[in-house]
Amino acid sequence: MREHGGDLDAAAARYGGDPADWIDLSTGINRQPWPMPDLPEAVTRALPTRALTEAAMAAARSAYRTDAPGLALAGAQAAIQLVPLLRPRGLARVLSPTYNEHAGALDAAGWHVETPAAPEDLAGADVAVVVNPNNPDGRAHDPAALRALAAQVGLLVVDESFADPEPQLSLLPDLPPEGVLVLRSFGKFYGQAGLRLGFAFGAEADIARMRALAGPWAASGPALAAGAQALADSGWRSRAVDRLAAGAERLDALATGAGWRLAGGTTQFRLYDVGDGQAARARLARHRIWSRAFAARPEWLRLGLPGPEHEWRRLAEALR
């Protein structure tokens, strides 16, 4: 089993309470989501149409500032599962520590996977993976450096799942025509992860291969319809970016006041050195607040940002 955030059922089974009573800060999913409208009945009753898919893709290209070939999928995770099938099996290098599904999917597909810590050590790989900004430590990589790296590997996969608040990090406005695949998540920034919507952008041949592997209806009608509206809502996006930035500062103040040391993060999640991550996680769990600990880095604890004010009050009380 690969470690993830979420899974409130397991939290409640271990520490008690109903999952509905918990505040899940174990992921980086925005807890003040884009407000879902009532969707037309047709998007749940009928198979997704070409027009619906094209509308979602047009909104995604506008929001992400790209005209590159792309594909809508059931979350960035669906793209991660397809990456190992885009090239013949060989050597994959995943810049680490990072989201563990990249190495996990490649390993499960029979690739030889290495996990270097320095970007320059990715050179020479048949497939190289960089998460930008990185999860869980928020490490950021300059797009120019990534374009240079792309010339030194077979296929560079850049996971931009947390890049919405930091558009200056994205490769998409000036995506190389070959050798780079960029993944985007809809659910994390827009806070509607249950819809399962994400996008892949890259060379036409790679996108065509992914489309064939994903099969028809790779994203659901409700996800496409909601995504098209949300991605076009530039006013909400701008307000959310400002709100998340302020929330990250507020969370850091609470955490450092409790004696924790900031170890990194983005405006959607913060990473702290707490000495004993499992003990800190258990402390918060007694207040029905779920967080993310790391077996490989026992001193770390990651927290997403609370949403409504009552969640901030509960976290402040737990940290006192």
Give the chain's domains with CATH numbers: 8-33+235-319 (3.90.1150.10), 46-232 (3.40.640.10)
Q: Tens of pLDDT along 216-227?
A: 999 999 999 999
Flag whether pLDDT at 1 surpasses 70: no
**pLDDT tens-digit series, residues 14-62:** 999 999 999 999 999 999 999 999 999 999 999 999 999 999 999 999 9
List the structure tokens of 310: 């009552």
Residue 25: the pLDDT is 98
Q: Cα(279)–Cα(262) distance, rounded to whole angstroms?
A: 17
Q: Give the separation between CA 286 and CA 307, rounded to whole angstroms.
A: 19
- How much is the pLDDT for 62? 98
Phi, psi dihedrals of residue 98, rounded to the nearest 5°: -160, -175
What's the DSSP call for residue 286?
T
Whether the CB-CB separation of 93 and 129 falls below 8 Å is answered with yes
Identify the pLDDT of residue 142. Answer: 97
Asked if residues 113 and 105 have their Cβ atoms less than 8 Å apart, the reply is no
Confidence band for 2, pLDDT divided at 50, 70 and 90: confident
Over residues 72-99, mean pLDDT:
98
For residue 3, pLDDT beyond 90? no
Which residue in this structure is represented by tokens 């089974």? 13
Tens-digit pLDDT profile for residues 233-289: 999 999 999 999 999 999 999 999 999 999 999 999 999 999 999 999 999 999 999
Average pLDDT over residues 105-116: 98
Q: Which residues contact 69 (CB under 8 A, 6 or more apart)?
A: 201, 202, 203, 204, 207, 208
How many Cα atoms are found within 13 Å in the side-chain-facing hemisphere of 125?
28
Three-state SS for 163? Answer: coil
pLDDT in the model for residue 130 = 98
Per-chain mean pLDDT for the chain: 97
What pairs with residue 128 in β-bridges?
93, 156
Which residues of the chain form beta strands (DSSP E)? 23-24, 70-73, 91-94, 112-114, 127-131, 155-159, 180-185, 198-202, 261-265, 269-273, 289-290, 292-293, 300-304
* Cα-based distances in Å from 315 to 26, 70, 179, 228, 287: 13, 40, 44, 34, 8
**Sign, Cα dihedral of 228, 229, 234, 237:** negative
Which has the higher per-residue pLDDT, 98 or 1?
98
How far apart are the C-alpha atoms of 135 and 243, rounded to whole Å? 20
The string of pLDDT tens digits covering residues 149-195 is 999 999 999 999 999 999 999 999 999 999 999 999 999 999 999 99
How big is the chain, counted in residues? Answer: 320
Decide: 314 and 285 in contact? Cβ < 8 Å.
no
* Max intra-chain CA distance, the chain: 55
Q: What is the pLDDT of residue 300?
A: 98
Mean pLDDT of 126-133: 98
Q: What is the pLDDT at residue 7? A: 86
